[in-house]
Amino acid sequence: MDSVCSSLRVLALRLGPGQELLSSLLAFVEEQKLKAPFIITCVGSLTKATLRLANATANNTNEVIHLQERFEIVSLVGTLNREAHLHICLADKDGKTIGGHVLGDLEVFTTAEVVIGEATGLHFTREMDSRTGFPELVIQKRSEQI
């Protein structure tokens, strides 16, 4: 296992009702030209979500659920490079939680307040890993610093 250190840059944004969280985050990353972005924290609420569950494999990707009700975002974690890898945990009206790999369709209900970090000395990409069958994170040192 290799370890790499980097300085940190912090950015924040707030999304409003009806905006789609994943595509908005990816657009923000593109606008800001972020090379190694990740979620620091996120709070807010959603009315829809499409998630891949833990049983999914490269050969069985149909472990997908489409949710449509009001949820609080209790956790959002992951990397935001072009092929974002995000996991979310949502709480329903009774406080019961469900979570999984974000596929999209995350429609904001009232707000989504997101704080994004960028490792300014790194560059994140994804490459197919034959061991897992999924594109996995590749971490590279950046030659130029912000």
Residue type at position 29: V
Rounded average pLDDT over 102-109: 96
Q: Residue 112's pLDDT is what? A: 98
Rounded average pLDDT over 13-32: 97
Could you tell me which residue, 61 or 45, shows the higher pLDDT?
45
Rounded average pLDDT over 11-28: 98
Q: Alpha-carbon distance 89 to 136, whole Å?
A: 21
**∠ at Cα 64 (60, 70), nearest 5°?**
170
Q: What average pLDDT does the structure give for the chain?
A: 92
Which two tokens mark 79?
């990397």
The confidence band for 145, taking pLDDT boundaries of 50, 70 and 90, is low
Asked if pLDDT for residue 36 goes beyond 60, the answer is yes
Q: Residue 4's pLDDT is what? A: 77
Q: Residue 143's pLDDT is what? A: 78
Closest CA to 16 of 112, 116, 104, 115: 112
The confidence band for 144, taking pLDDT boundaries of 50, 70 and 90, is low
Q: Which domains does the chain have, with CATH numbers?
A: 9-141 (3.30.1330.80)
- % of the chain residues with pLDDT over 70: 92
Task: Tell me how far apart the terminal alpha carbons of the chain are, to the nearest angstrom.
Answer: 26
Asked if pLDDT for residue 2 goes beyond 80, the answer is no
